[in-house]
Structure 1
């Protein structure tokens, strides 16, 4: 008698509605940002520069009306400017410059050689600055990193002492999670180590409102460390406690050729005097 053989199994075809639902879900997932980037507009580490938080925290209140005979124009630059047209700046009256060398203990400016040497080669008096991140390593460690990566000083009459850029944290808490006393300790450790390594007292770059908030308006550094104040206004305004005058003033982030323009509080011979120590 004939043997009954079962029909082979055929794969089921998915229902059209199921296919449509899967396609919609796939499309939705593809257009969603990843958890790491969703709503995260924090800048990448290493991208900080002088005055990064000034507009957001202090605002812009005009610019000085014009150059003053007793002040000397300068600029500060970082990797954001790339290769700088130093001859253009020199011909426009800029006579000194500071170049970002380092940040924390994890970043060096890839344009540092062109910027640091280029400013010097056109005749400028130049210096290097360090963007502080007190939440990553201690002050002395960062001072060593700065000196070891371009932030030193040479007795050539054309090199300014290193500058500590201490301001609003672009990556998180404004005061880097430190108490006012903890911040003062961090800054002191940086200043002391830089002095030990180079023989020079570094310049302190800051803004009065940040200094009040994050150091409690500490006055103890004014006797030794020149002040570089950030204030985008027609006048420099109130200074941090202890300083009766500023040495340098960053007065705008939208100047010609490069954005950050500054004035040295004195004629060119005073810039030379600071370089000579």
Structure 2
């Protein structure tokens, strides 16, 4: 009968302990960003601004008249539009779609609710250039809330093109491929609605991912994202912004914006 000697199983125990330690090391080595990646469909305007551009201060009052607005998504749920109206908000954008796989479940309450209290409203599309073509996404947007009507209270649709919350910042595209994707979206949207879409972006992302392309500035209004005391340097081609998202921590809904003009200019954009 074999004799058991004290300590004879220690090498095996040490081997198993080593395997467990190695497995734990691999788990801990997984980048935190992988675990923090949001669920598809949950992206919203400015989702990457705080992480990439930071936040500093509030807008400094200027000489020009500006009109307060807000932008909302499914993240905000049902919005207290009467409260926002009473606070001075006069225009709003609601997220309608993302890619070709998501529609905002709160879109009707947000889009119609803002209209019903007297606001001028519009819809935006969160672009995912790595999933389908620009034309495909423009059609999806137009079919699911992004259409336009000449009623004096409907703003043209917005292409929200910014940092990819699900992966590589530029969606794996070269600068020329990104410009082509954007052009595909814009051309299709105009063919569907008769309007030039607004472009929402941040200067740092635009510079990195389009090579600071200037070719859209003549037709497409700019909605600049920068959480600071001023909108800063604008992307190439645009000498002024039409809208500026200046904070993600404003009252009631968080995302607040300035329209670069009095209310009659908001109406003018709605009317084309």
Compute the TM-score of the two structures, normalised by the length of structure 1.
Answer: 0.86
Residue 165 of structure 1 pairs with residue 160 of structure 2? yes
Q: CA deviation at 1:85?
A: 0.1
Distance in 1 (alpha carbons) for counterparts of 2:232 and 2:261: 18
Of 262, 265, 276, the residue aligned with 2:257 is 262
User: How far apart, CA to CA, are the structure 2 residues paired with 1:176 and 1:272?
Assistant: 35
**2:60–2:230 Cα contact (<8 Å) kept:** no
Q: Which segment is superposed worse, 56-65 or 37-46?
A: 37-46
Secondary structure at 1:147 match in 2? helix
Q: What is aligned with 2:224? A: 229
Q: Secondary structure at the match of 2:140?
A: helix
Partner of 2:116: 121
Aligned length: 252
Cα offsets for 1:189-241 (capped at 9, x unmatched): 00000000000000000000000000000000000000000000001110000
Moved more, 138-147 or 66-75: 66-75
Deviation readout 1:161-214 (Å, 9 max, x if unpaired): 000000000000000000000000000000000000000000000000000000
1:238 paired with 2:233, answer yes
Structure 2 segments unaligned to the other structure (5+ residues): 1-12
Distance in 1 between residues matched to 2:63 and 2:108, nearest whole Å: 31
Structure 1 counterpart of 2:3: none
SS in 2 for 1:56: helix
Determine if contact 2:65/2:262 at 8 Å carries over to the other structure.
yes
Q: How does 1:28-67 map to 2 (within 5 A)?
A: 40-66=35-61
What displacement does 1:66 show? 4.7
TM-score under structure 2 normalisation?
Answer: 0.88
Aligned mate of 2:137, from 137, 142, 151: 142
1:75 pairs, out of 64, 67, 70, with 70
Q: Which runs of 5+ in 1 are unaligned?
A: 1-20
Q: 1:248 matched to which residue of 2? A: 243
* Pick aligned residue for 1:152 from 141, 147, 170: 147
Q: CA RMSD in A?
A: 2.3
Corresponding position of 1:272: 267
Counterpart CA distance in 1 for 2:31 and 2:140 is 30
**1:80-131 superposed Cα distances (whole Å, 9 cap, x missing partner):** 1000000000000000000000000000000000000000000000000000
CA distance in 2, matches of 1:89, 1:68: 24
1:65 deviates by: 3.6
